Amino acid sequence: MTAETLASISVAGDQSLSVAPTGNPATTFASLSCQAVAAQGNAREFLANIGFTSAEGAGNPPGIADKVALYAGMMGNAGTADIWAINTEMVLSAASGSYNATGYELDLNNLNADRGDADGGAGLAAPVAIGLAVTGAGSFRSTAAISIEGPGSAPIWNRGIVVGDSSVAQATLQDLGTATVSLDIRGSHAISVDTWQSSGIPLRLPNNNPIVAQNAAGTANIPVVSVDIDNNIELGSVGSSFVVSGADTIPALDLAFDLGFPSNRWVDIFALNGVLQSSDPALKTDIAKLPGVAALIKAIDPVTFRWRQDRKRLVEVTEEVTVHATEWRAVEEEVMEIRDGKAVRVRRTRQVEVHLYDELPVEDEQGNPVMLDPATQRQATHRVPRMVTKRVTVRKPVETPGTRLHWGFLAPEVKAAFDAAGLDFGGHVTGPDGSQHLRPDQLIPVLWKAVQELMARVEALEGKAGG
């Protein structure tokens, strides 16, 4: 700590006291040692008590008039061994009884006013009240802000981080940073994210941002599901060949939804059996025989045609896109390997692709630099993604003109024929966009009726000829 401070008691030692720290079997040298044995059976006991009351320094800039009840500083110079600023140890001795044990308890008793109800420009709006703040300074990145570890391969913790019932109001975990990955889950897990016991919404996504999966080669993301700006649910993408269903696919409500849309049509429907349509008389009303259809048959001419636009083809095109800049770096990591039935910690190097960021100096609304520590003239900075333009190859659907010759009918002609006969024909449909469509299956009864009329005429002629 470089700033001048005031103290009532100063202990300057050379670690000359040889002590056996409680809970630690290794003999240690210390400048100050405090060892005691609990003596009060029905009263709280503190081995050391530090009490500090402050009512001074209001209105001064942060870092100038701060008050600290307990300060532990450690400096690592060249040649040092591993260092810890604070090292606490608690031992639950064998068969010591049934009791609660907490290695470190931090009580923040806010009797002043609510803090942190709204986010600030860079994350947390001042004034703040934080139970545990992990901060730092320097020119290099450190390994991790918080690390939960154990002495070996066998787990010693049932849970890593637990938030008590009704303890948090807004967000249990909140990420306001710009890290490449917000949550990076590795290792062998039976379930990576488990929400089955949650009573609320298990997952909520921003609009028009899909859930993605890696392709088989691990080189690209493929959208799986998203909600577009029109609140339509989209499954899959043009980068996938199929959306595969492993069970029956049914509408959520009976007689409520269509399959397809006038401007979003299916090309082919492949089925082993014919398309089923409800035909139970119990589901119908106003059942009546068909009138004569000879005039309809004469009025409707079958035609041949080709579609203006046939099925869309996926083609690879090269486009310029703006993306978050990345670079490949060699990263060393420690992993556990099982060798001859033993867990062995080994170090390995692997290549990882990391996103690049630029540090921009932070200024206030008047254009003045925002300082983290006025004493050292260290200005606050903000990380922003470094964006670059590059050419990428993507697959896009391209419309192609129809080539095959199709046989069918013209919807306006069919409608005109039925209108002329004074008949309402449900086989003609006008889409929401005004396009006209036919249900060809409803023309089968017309043909059937025409065959019956022809059969009756043939039978009549044959009866005259026989007479």
Please report, for the domain that includes residue 448, its CATH number.
Answer: 1.10.10.10
Alpha carbon distance 391, 322 (integer Å): 9
pLDDT at 4: 63
Q: What percent of the chain has pLDDT over 70?
A: 96
Burial class (CB in 10 A: 0-12, 13-18, 19+), 248: exposed
The model's pTM is 0.68
Q: Is residue 73 part of a domain?
A: no
Q: Is residue 179 part of a domain?
A: no
pLDDT at 1: 43
Q: Examine the fold and report which residue of 338, 370, 398 is the final residue of a domain before the chain moves on.
A: 398
Note whether 336 and 354 are same-domain residues. yes
* Residue 135 pLDDT exceeds 90: no
Alpha carbon distance 279, 194 (integer Å): 46
Note whether 336 and 461 are same-domain residues. no
Note whether 323 and 296 are same-domain residues. no
pLDDT at 13: 78
- DSSP, residue by residue, 62-98: TTTS---S--------TT-----S--------TT--S
What's the pLDDT tens digit per position in 271-301?
888 888 888 889 889 999 999 999 999 999 9
Alpha carbon distance 361, 369 (integer Å): 7
Mean per-residue pLDDT for 245-257?
A: 90
Q: Examine the fold and report which residue of 367, 383, 398 is the final residue of a domain before the chain moves on.
A: 398
Q: Is residue 440 part of a domain?
A: yes
Overall number of domains in the chain:
2
Mean per-residue pLDDT for 328-354?
A: 82
Average confidence score pLDDT of the chain: 86
Residue whose entry in the numeric block shows the structure tokens 């036919």: 438
Q: Is residue 441 part of a domain?
A: yes
Q: What percent of the chain has pLDDT over 90?
A: 37
CA dihedral 283, 288, 293, 299 (to 10 degrees): -60
Return the structure tokens found at 204.
Answer: 């909520």
Note whether 363 and 431 are same-domain residues. no
pLDDT bucket at 5, cuts 50 / 70 / 90: low
Note whether 339 and 447 are same-domain residues. no
Q: Is residue 392 part of a domain?
A: yes
Note whether 394 and 419 are same-domain residues. no
Note whether 290 and 405 are same-domain residues. yes
Mean per-residue pLDDT for 247-256?
A: 90
What's the pLDDT tens digit per position in 7-58?
777 777 788 888 888 888 788 898 888 889 999 999 999 999 999 999 988 8
Alpha carbon distance 362, 380 (integer Å): 5
Please answer whether residues 56 and 67 qualify as being in contact, where contact means their C-beta atoms are separated by less than 8 angstroms.
yes
Return the structure tokens found at 367.
Answer: 């254009």
* Residue 86 pLDDT exceeds 90: yes
The number of beta carbons lying within 10 Å of the beta carbon of residue 218 is 6
Alpha carbon distance 426, 284 (integer Å): 14
The helix/strand/coil state of 252 is: coil
Note whether 428 and 304 are same-domain residues. yes
Note whether 428 and 296 are same-domain residues. yes
The domain in which residue 460 lies consists of: 281-311+401-466
Q: Is residue 372 part of a domain?
A: yes
Return the structure tokens found at 184.
Answer: 């990076």
Highest averaged pLDDT of the listed ranges 91-95, 185-189, 260-264:
91-95
* Residue 150 pLDDT exceeds 60: yes
What's the pLDDT tens digit per position in 88-126?
999 999 999 999 999 999 999 999 998 888 777 556 777
Q: Is residue 341 part of a domain?
A: yes
Note whether 405 and 444 are same-domain residues. yes
* Residue 341 pLDDT exceeds 90: no
Note whether 328 and 392 are same-domain residues. yes
CA dihedral 440, 442, 446, 452 (to 10 degrees): 110
Alpha carbon distance 39, 33 (integer Å): 19
Note whether 391 and 452 are same-domain residues. no
Return the structure tokens found at 174.
Answer: 């909140």
* Residue 260 pLDDT exceeds 50: yes
Alpha carbon distance 405, 307 (integer Å): 8
Q: Examine the fold and report which residue of 398, 418, 434 is the final residue of a domain before the chain moves on.
A: 398
Q: Is residue 355 part of a domain?
A: yes
